[in-house]
């Protein structure tokens, strides 16, 4: 068996807010002490991560003085140098402060919208200062509890205007930066706009600079809506829009759990890793999760190591799936094509249409073939359980 | 009070399969007798519908002889003439026959894919023959139970190729026809591709003829995933893609219920009607629902009348909302803009960015304002309950 | 139309934590300032509530000195006297403090279990001191994220032992007190034990003093699991176990929303009010909800008034439903019984069984009757919308 | 590695309806041909099942003549003899026929209620004739789409009267038979009464003969409501009520999927098998599932073999978990008890209460301990994935 040791080539990253989570939840207060960004970088270095990501206010508190900010940055930079960690991604906190209680870019208050733009420009500068190449947008407060309060169309327009403005800002500054939009269906708002990766992809297609904007799908967020995460990731990938990914775990139909990657839905995690490895995704494998509230910082490290270890175990299973003779023979059989239909596919022509219209089909014969998907799935389960 | 009588201008349509539903479900057999398409048109005429839509095999059984097909069409045409009903939309049944057990356009079997194209071309011809201007695609079997069985990327490519081919077919035939894609997250497949209207919009943006392809969002399908239906409709509308709409009702997180419009989630139905009426949507209000299985055909008529009546009641409430002085004053207050931020919005310029970066914001002052959304929502509830 | 003014006879109560909620959520900090218990009582008096309920630490902070506790109680008592509010219910906070991170009565740590018992005894004393007649138990931390961590059977036994101990404590102290257990499926734990009111009722049947223990069903908690709240309340009522009720609102399949009563699922709220009023429930109508995070304290008052107003509007609709001649005639027809089967029902006898076995039934004739439930439901919708 | 061959001692059973499923669903017709009960028994014998269960109408069609019934029974009996299969359980189909469209025992029509009793008595006789020792009740139609149509309290009373009658019938006939009630939250009805195993347990406690009535929890049904299946099974077991169990798989928040056991939620399946094996459950392991609609009868056999194989793989993992030194040492540490609190637990006494009230607790010290549940869960994941 492999040793499942994380290496830089695996591009495993964590947010400061993940290992720094103090375990506050709607019904309980902090269970773990505060750690500085530099301390968190050390922790991530210790467990073998490749990179660290941050929200502006993870690094620099919203009310920090310039001097305080400089001191924090110096310590953070030193910790990066000491550990060798990089900062591949950064993002803006547009949800914690009360000013964002009705949204940031979609707030009904023009002062809030202006402040959100300002805060994001400054946060982009900060991210770029530390080398971030991907900038994530998660609009946690962009939504409603009552649809009497806001125009959904106006909110789309406001979101688009903000994104267009910020794209231009990054271009103007000549930043080597791509934007990645992250969807979530609800929580903390009753309903959040652009609730899935699909909605985000559609939204991106309407921007002024769609080429520099992609998505950052998150396992937990799509599972909350009970939809197939890998399918959404595949759509993003196929459209050239998979700029970043948030790995964690989640049981559907409940609050945002941000569980250790692969700890809840093993099968879905496998298909996701298989997809990423098979297509050759080269971006960060970012773990946007946190340790159970029962844990101290030893538990946090175990949690972080577990995210990476399970990814690597599943990655090895992908290799095994692809090398398994029985599985591959079955897949070949399932996908066999006798070529007799090939001339009907591809670009349309009137002749093709005419010929196809006249083609006889033996529906009963075609239908009666068993497709062997139970066998294929059982082979997959055996592979996952380590019994093949 | 108004009389809530459906009129042609309301564009209320039903599918043959809705009032013709015999009440079969996974655990029970038919509770209502078969009615011919012509009989169903008469029933729809009797209740006051404007139009009727069909799948190819609702009208012409899949194994009908040409002579049988002609006889059915003659009777159907006569019933349309007798009742004055029109056929604004048609669609293909690509899910009932066993041949589609692993999908139609995304089947792993090239014969099935070719047959699906053929069947759709013929069904388009049939729809156009009866005057349909919108052609709906619901790919109920395009998905998987096990993701070992199919490549998600390949499925997207196959779907795209099929849509491109069929667009060309309609253009080649000079049909005055738009396509409307309908999303659903699951059922009858474990997971269906393009599970939400958002995913469909994103998919459309990748087609060869995006201008002729829009969406047909369905209340029940989006509620199954627990997402805000009106928000998705707004996104489609704002993108110029709301070509058709399927109205019904559904409680989230369960099997596809297709309940009478407005019978389950009154508030969501109100915001939907408000959206459609406020933006001036002029397409069909298609009811894709069926009567409870407890009903006979009298119950079916009551059901169909109820769909339209509730729409009209909610439409009147929209007028009332828009005319309500207290509500409108509150909305004006909520949306008040003192203009001081206006120069920061709109197209980006380096000067704007510089000025905005330097703009001071009093976060505490801005945050401390109560937004009065509880009051606005309670006024809405009162309006819905008829107590204002 | 009625004025929908709350009166003491309506038994409308609120928890200190409801109107005192500061709007903290997993992604955001407080948006409203702290108010003392006495201030919150004044606010509740102003909006017309009948009573106020509390957790021990809503009233007395967990680390208060005896002197501080006395001062708080004095002020609270004065506010009650000033407003005329009563304290019908009290409960223990067994979830906020980090000590309860793995549960209270079901913690694996015997010290935590002992402390939970101690804290509850003291909190019971405090509740009784202020006149509470119902004592609620919500075990928000009694559950798991990983089922490797705890024995589910052991947890049931620990819960039972704790409840038996505390029943005896109340009896020993001669308190005039009933216990009401509140279920919730998840949040803040991954899974909470006894996830629904049904599970709680089953658990109660295994206690030493089942007669003094009932349930406190909460709208939001059962809706989270997508189940019919009124049905669960009916089961509790029919078993003589509806000791208290928590009213609020919630969209299924997401985080605990605690929305204003009747603001989200109007139809479900109607059937609930209809049930409570029809059976003559005389307990508190406790609103366990909070204002949107967008609100200031004016909004909080609007929220509280709205909970009560909507209840009263729905109560009036219940009267209207029960007096509606068309509805009642339809119900009479639906429930008509020709008496021919009556002798088969009631207590079993071999003769009955024999006779029933030989009884012929015309399945087709019985099945063919339309049950008119679409009509009945549409009449209900009309009544809810104020159009009858 | 073990060979995972099913043996009689494993008590693996299937319903006739599971391997006999023809793949009909709400959107598609049969994909597999009809097989006689005798043929299905042969198939089950071939794959190594221990037993076969049936609904009355799986074996004898509802309109069969006495002569037809006798012929079917003779063939079925012969197939049982040939294969050695037993019939541990039987049940009644109270949902397929249109007569049950508004319920069986809870129908508003007294003729339907009487017929349901008659049908069940006859079906019990049939089950006993073939040796069934457990009789399952699944009331798929006992519920509502609109709560205007039925009294929830009346429905409980009707259900109870029916169960009491049928208990007496079985006692009167001196049948060696226990009843097992099966819960489901919805589908085919909008809401089904007694939606979870918890509600069923509570209902049983109110019957005249609770000792002869237990539950038959089903994985898919509880997962539909998003609740922890093993917790519900544990509650049933601890109450002495786990008379039978239905194994399959299901993704939450959607239609009833009845997937191959262990094919979707591997972790939940593991904890379930662990529970059943650890407590020494000796009843049937009944697979209430069916093959994907893509399969022919070879696929059906693969499906049936897969259910049993995965159970046995997980059973072996249970042994491994229980023998794993690191896991067991960790569990011992987690559950360590220094005994200092022991005198506070157990039966209440005033002295205990007094002493406990005075006991000091160092909340901070107790809280600060990390519980190592991330480590324990990662060890479990490794064990499941075969990497330890």
Residue numbers of D annotated as active site: 55, 58
Going B145 to B150 to B155 to B158, the CA torsion angle's sign is negative
**Residue A383 vs residues A149, A376, A379, B366, D265: alpha-carbon distances, Å:** 51, 11, 6, 56, 15
The shortest CB-CB distance from D234 to any of C101, C152, C363 is to: C152
Neighbours of chain B (3+ CB pairs under 8 A): A, C, D
Going A348 to A354 to A358 to A359, the CA torsion angle's sign is negative
- Decide if B79 contacts B37 (C-beta within 8 A): yes
Q: How far is B287 from chain C (nearest CA, A)?
A: 15
Average pLDDT, chain B: 98
CB contact under 8 A, D188 and B293: yes
Q: How far is B7 from chain C (nearest CA, A)?
A: 19
Strand partners, D215: D181, D242
CB contact under 8 A, B266 and C384: yes
CB contact under 8 A, D299 and A373: yes
User: Which chain A residues touch C149 with a CB distance below 8 Å?
Assistant: 294
Q: How far is D111 from chain C (nearest CA, A)?
A: 6
CB contact under 8 A, C230 and D113: no
User: Which chain B residues touch D256 with a CB distance below 8 Å?
Assistant: 26, 255
Summarize the confidence of residues A34-45 as an average pLDDT.
98
| Alpha-carbon span D91 to D99, nearest angstrom | 18
Residue C109's Cβ-count burial label (10 Å; 0-12, 13-18, 19+) is buried
CB contact under 8 A, D374 and A31: no
- Decide if A383 contacts A317 (C-beta within 8 A): yes
Instruction: Find the DSSP H helices in D130-207.
Output: 152-172, 197-204
In tens, the pLDDT along D160-209 reads 999 999 999 999 999 999 999 999 999 999 999 999 999 999 999 999 99
Q: How far is D308 from chain C (nearest CA, A)?
A: 23
DSSP string covering B323-339, please? Answer: H-HHHHHHHHHHT---S
Mutate to test the interface with C, among B253, B374, B375 (most CBs of C within 10 A): B374
In tens, the pLDDT along D74-93 reads 999 999 999 999 999 999 99
In tens, the pLDDT along B352-362 reads 999 999 999 99
**Is C55 assigned a catalytic role?**
yes
In tens, the pLDDT along C210-266 reads 999 999 999 999 999 999 999 999 999 999 999 999 999 999 999 999 999 999 999
pLDDT tier at D372, thresholds 50, 70, 90: very high
User: Which chain C residues touch A26 with a CB distance below 8 Å?
Assistant: 24-26, 187-188, 255-256
User: Token pair of A361, please?
Assistant: 């089909």
Give the chain C residue nearest A292 (alpha carbons).
Answer: C145
CB contact under 8 A, C145 and A255: no
> What pLDDT, on the 0 to 100 scale, is given for residue C1?
52
Report which of B127, B140, B89 is spatially closest to residue B244, judged by C-alpha positions: B89
The shortest CB-CB distance from B187 to any of D96, D188, D254 is to: D254
User: Which chain D residues touch C380 with a CB distance below 8 Å?
Assistant: 146, 148
B138 pLDDT more than 90: yes
In tens, the pLDDT along C8-37 reads 999 999 999 999 999 999 999 999 999 999
User: Which chain D residues touch A250 with a CB distance below 8 Å?
Assistant: none
Summarize the confidence of residues B36-50 as an average pLDDT.
98
Give me the catalytic one of A3, A10, A55, A63. Answer: A55
pLDDT tier at C346, thresholds 50, 70, 90: very high
B2 pLDDT more than 90: no
CB contact under 8 A, A28 and C101: yes
Give me the catalytic one of B55, B221, B223, B290. Answer: B55
> What pLDDT, on the 0 to 100 scale, is given for residue B180?
98
pLDDT tier at A2, thresholds 50, 70, 90: low
The shortest CB-CB distance from A253 to any of C26, C190, C253 is to: C253
> What pLDDT, on the 0 to 100 scale, is given for residue A48?
98
Going D244 to D248 to D254 to D256, the CA torsion angle's sign is negative
Give the chain B residue nearest A365 (alpha carbons).
Answer: B99
pLDDT tier at D48, thresholds 50, 70, 90: very high
A75 pLDDT more than 80: yes
Quick check: helix, strand or coil at residue D105?
A: coil
In tens, the pLDDT along A286-330 reads 999 999 999 999 999 999 999 999 999 999 999 999 999 999 999
The shortest CB-CB distance from D373 to any of A295, A317, A370 is to: A295
Give the chain A residue nearest D302 (alpha carbons).
Answer: A375
Mutate to test the interface with B, among A190, A346, A348 (most CBs of B within 10 A): A348
Q: How far is A90 from chain B (nearest CA, A)?
A: 19
Mutate to test the interface with C, among D97, D156, D192, D198 (most CBs of C within 10 A): D198
> What pLDDT, on the 0 to 100 scale, is given for residue D101?
98
| Alpha-carbon span B244 to B229, nearest angstrom | 14
- Decide if C384 contacts C266 (C-beta within 8 A): yes
The shortest CB-CB distance from A202 to any of B167, B198, B227 is to: B198
pLDDT tier at B1, thresholds 50, 70, 90: low
CB contact under 8 A, B141 and D25: no
Q: How far is A206 from chain B (nearest CA, A)?
A: 8
Give the chain C residue nearest D358 (alpha carbons).
Answer: C118
pLDDT tier at A183, thresholds 50, 70, 90: very high
Helix (H) or strand (E) holding B52: strand B51-55
Chain C residues near any Cβ of chain A (below 8 Å) = 23-31, 95-98, 100-102, 140-141, 145-146, 149, 185-188, 190, 224, 226, 251-257, 259, 263, 292-294
**Is B58 assigned a catalytic role?**
yes
> What pLDDT, on the 0 to 100 scale, is given for residue B167?
98
Summarize the confidence of residues D339-343 as an average pLDDT.
97
**ipTM for the assembly:** 0.98
Q: Which residue is listed with tokens 């467990």? A: A47
Summarize the confidence of residues A277-281 as an average pLDDT.
98
Give the chain A residue nearest B201 (alpha carbons).
Answer: A202
Give the chain D residue nearest A223 (alpha carbons).
Answer: D252
DSSP string covering C330-367, please? Answer: HHHHHT---STTGGGSSS--HHHHHHHHH----HHHHH
Summarize the confidence of residues A137-154 as an average pLDDT.
98
| Alpha-carbon span C33 to D299, nearest angstrom | 64
In tens, the pLDDT along B74-118 reads 999 999 999 999 999 999 999 999 999 999 999 999 999 999 999
Quick check: helix, strand or coil at residue D140?
A: coil
D1 pLDDT more than 80: no
Share of chain C above pLDDT 90, in %: 99
The shortest CB-CB distance from D27 to any of B102, B188, B224 is to: B188
- Decide if B59 contacts B16 (C-beta within 8 A): yes
Quick check: helix, strand or coil at residue A337?
A: coil
Give me the catalytic one of A10, A25, A56, A58. Answer: A58
Instruction: With both helix axes pointing from N to C terminus, report the angle between A266-279 and D373-385 in degrees, rounded to the nearest 10.
Output: 70
User: Which chain D residues touch C197 with a CB distance below 8 Å?
Assistant: 198-199
> What pLDDT, on the 0 to 100 scale, is given for residue C51?
98
Could you count the other beta carbons within 10 Å of the beta carbon of residue C257?
Answer: 22
In tens, the pLDDT along A216-257 reads 999 999 999 999 999 999 999 999 999 999 999 999 999 999
Q: C138-171: string of b/e by CB count within 10 Å (b at 16+)?
A: bbbbbbbbbbbbbbbbebbebbbbbbbbbbbbbe
DSSP string covering A127-141, please? Answer: HHHTT-SEEEEE-TT
pLDDT tier at B174, thresholds 50, 70, 90: very high
| Alpha-carbon span A249 to A263, nearest angstrom | 6
Summarize the confidence of residues D215-237 as an average pLDDT.
98
User: Which chain A residues touch C147 with a CB distance below 8 Å?
Assistant: none
Summarize the confidence of residues B186-209 as an average pLDDT.
98
User: Which chain D residues touch C122 with a CB distance below 8 Å?
Assistant: 357
User: Which chain D residues touch C363 with a CB distance below 8 Å?
Assistant: 62, 97-99, 115
pTM of the model: 0.98
> What pLDDT, on the 0 to 100 scale, is given for residue C290?
98
């Amino acid at each position: 068996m492999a040793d499942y040791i994380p290496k830089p080539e695996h591009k495993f990253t964590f947010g400061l807010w993940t290992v720094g989570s103090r375990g506050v939840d709607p019904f309980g207060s902090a269970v773990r002490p505060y750690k500085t960004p530099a301390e968190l970088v050390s922790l991530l270095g210790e467990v073998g991560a490749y990179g660290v990501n941050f929200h502006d206010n993870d690094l620099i508190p919203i009310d920090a003085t310039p001097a305080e900010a400089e001191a924090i940055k110096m310590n953070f930079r030193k910790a990066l140098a000491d550990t060798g960690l990089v900062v591949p991604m950064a993002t803006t906190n547009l949800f914690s402060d009360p000013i964002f209680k009705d949204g940031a870019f979609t707030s009904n208050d023009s002062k809030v919208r202006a402040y959100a733009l300002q805060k994001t420009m400054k946060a982009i500068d900060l991210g770029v200062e530390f080398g971030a190449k991907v900038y994530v947008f998660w609009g946690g407060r962009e939504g409603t509890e009552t649809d009497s309060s806001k125009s959904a169309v106006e909110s789309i327009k406001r979101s688009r205007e903000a994104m267009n403005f910020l794209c231009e800002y990054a271009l103007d500054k000549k930043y080597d930066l791509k934007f990645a939009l992250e969807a979530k269906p609800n929580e903390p708002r009753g309903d959040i706009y652009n609730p899935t990766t699909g909605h985000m992809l559609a939204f991106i297609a309407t921007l002024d600079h769609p080429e520099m904007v992609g998505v950052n799908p998150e396992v937990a967020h799509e599972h909350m809506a009970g939809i197939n995460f890998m399918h959404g990731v595949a759509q993003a990938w196929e459209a050239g829009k998979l700029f970043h990914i948030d790995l964690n775990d989640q049981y559907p139909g409940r609050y945002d759990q941000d569980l250790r990657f692969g700890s809840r839905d093993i099968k879905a995690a496998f298909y996701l890793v298989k997809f990423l490895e098979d297509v050759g995704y080269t971006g960060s494998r970012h773990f946007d999760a946190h340790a159970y509230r029962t844990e101290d910082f030893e538990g946090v490290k175990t949690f972080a190591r577990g995210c990476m270890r399970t990814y690597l175990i599943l990655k090895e299973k992908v290799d095994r799936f692809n090398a398994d003779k029985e599985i591959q023979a079955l897949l070949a059989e399932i996908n066999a094509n006798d070529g007799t239909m090939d001339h009907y596919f591809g670009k349309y022509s009137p002749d093709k249409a005419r010929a196809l219209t006249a083609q006889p089909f033996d529906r009963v014969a075609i239908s009666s073939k068993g497709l062997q998907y139970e066998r294929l799935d059982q082979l997959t389960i055996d592979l996952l359980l380590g019994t093949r």
